[in-house]
Structure 1
Amino acid sequence: MSNDMPDIEPKVVDRAEQPYAFIRGSVRMDAFGPIADRLGELIGWLNAKGVPFAGAPFFRYNTLDMAGESAVEAGIPIASLPTPEGDIQIGTLPAGRYATLLHTGHPDELFGAITAFRSWADREGLTWDMKEVDGTERWGCRLESFLTDPRVEPDRNKWQIELSFRLADTSGDSASTP
């Protein structure tokens, strides 16, 4: 690990299925704003419908192509199931074993944290629920959850972001892209 990347302390956890509301978009990684900016719209819609949140807002990467378009969802775990409307859809995050890592710092530092996280998984012999097809990663479930409310803590250097990447299921039910 490089000297500029702090030690990381990932964990492997079991997660149950989790309903969520989301807006899906296709974005380039160097132009993430069009999907990131939709989180506020989703939060407002859920609040207007009286739907309680069951966790922190997140981005779910269904496909990841660092040089091209990626299929990404802006989502929020929910405690009840509203009727979908317009671009807002309802889905279920899959149950399973997830490797998780808590990153504290600016979102621009996530690339380094993800690189260290993936190296850790390689050293541990863990396999992601992901298949690479023609240079595009197709993930069963890969999340970046924003645990810090920017209205409470505007300093992005203090934000906490949890990375949760689903591990391959040895029963063969893996990398099922929604």
Structure 2
Amino acid sequence: MSSTSENPSTSGPVEVEPLIVEREEQPYAGIRGRVKADGFAQIADRIPELFGWLAARGTEPLGGPFLRYNLVGTEGEFEVEAGVAVAVSPEPEGDVLSGVLPAGKYATVTHFGHPDGLFAVTEALLAWARAQGLAWDMTTASDGEHWVGRLETYKTDPRVQPDPAHWETELAFRLED
């Protein structure tokens, strides 16, 4: 079953047909920060630094970079990690942390196009889960939603495809067990 949400960049509804997939746990290296909605570049712009840090240690990335949303705050603040999957968790150093994305069932949907459309796709994914009676693996507290696994993975390398209208981004949100 699909769900729709308004897409502000095209003034029309966004339809999604998510897949539920089982994922194994995945080690990663990341950089964490707290940002407001207009400050995601503060974290996302550190992704090249993270790739450089891994390369300096001879660690190969497994796939594209991602943003992991740990907190979607009530005051418009987010705790986000820019991360890269790796085969073995590295030793943390400086701002670089070591983590593991949890195994489990994830609802996934792929967005093709400019990242400005991700908000509408996210809203459509959340609406789809409500319509299906599915619960996310997250808790709500006074400061907002604390997510166990809420990811935006960037599948397109902007050095290869500089036009954001042709980018591919996968959303993967962990479902409650």
Superposed pair shares fold, TM > 0.5 = yes
Deviation at 1:54, TM superposition (A): 1.6
Deviation at 1:69, TM superposition (A): 2.1
Question: Of residues 156, 159, 162 in structure 2, which corresponds to 1:154?
Answer: 162
Q: Report the number of matched residues.
A: 169
Match of residue 48 from structure 2: 40
Match of residue 134 from structure 2: 126
Deviation at 1:66, TM superposition (A): 6.0
Residues 62 and 141 of structure 1 are in contact (CA less than 8 Å); yes or no, is this contact kept in structure 2? yes
Deviation at 1:83, TM superposition (A): 2.1
Local SS of the residue matching 2:78: strand
Residues 14 and 120 of structure 2 are in contact (CA less than 8 Å); yes or no, is this contact kept in structure 1? no
- 1:45-83 per-position Cα deviation (integer Å, ceiling 9, x unaligned): 111111011222000000012633211000000023332
User: What one-letter code is carried by the residue in structure 2 that aligns with 1:50?
Assistant: G
Residues 29 and 66 of structure 1 are in contact (CA less than 8 Å); yes or no, is this contact kept in structure 2? no
Question: Of residues 81, 86, 95 in structure 1, which corresponds to 2:89?
Answer: 81
Local SS of the residue matching 1:52: coil
Match of residue 62 from structure 2: 54
User: What one-letter code is carried by the residue in structure 2 that aligns with 1:73?
Assistant: E
Match of residue 38 from structure 2: 30
Deviation at 1:16, TM superposition (A): 0.5
Local SS of the residue matching 2:125: helix
Local SS of the residue matching 2:62: coil
Deviation at 1:124, TM superposition (A): 1.2
Residues 29 and 98 of structure 2 are in contact (CA less than 8 Å); yes or no, is this contact kept in structure 1? yes
Structure 1 segments (4+ residues) deviating >4 Å: none
Counterparts of 1:81 and 1:145 in 2: how far apart (Å)?
18
Unpaired runs of at least 5, structure 1? 170-178
Residues 136 and 176 of structure 2 are in contact (CA less than 8 Å); yes or no, is this contact kept in structure 1? yes
The answer to which structure has the higher strand fraction is 2
Equivalent residue runs for 1:58-137 within 5 Å: 58-65=66-73, 67-134=75-142, 136-137=144-145
CA distance 1:41–1:138, shift in 2 (3 Å):
same
Counterparts of 2:143 and 2:118 in 1: how far apart (Å)?
21
Counterparts of 1:107 and 1:68 in 2: how far apart (Å)?
19
User: What one-letter code is carried by the residue in structure 1 that aligns with 2:56?
Assistant: A
Local SS of the residue matching 1:62: strand
CA distance 1:32–1:80, shift in 2 (3 Å):
same
User: What one-letter code is carried by the residue in structure 1 that aligns with 2:149?
Assistant: C
Residues 62 and 86 of structure 2 are in contact (CA less than 8 Å); yes or no, is this contact kept in structure 1? yes
Match of residue 19 from structure 2: 11
User: What one-letter code is carried by the residue in structure 2 that aligns with 1:54?
Assistant: L
Unpaired runs of at least 5, structure 2? none
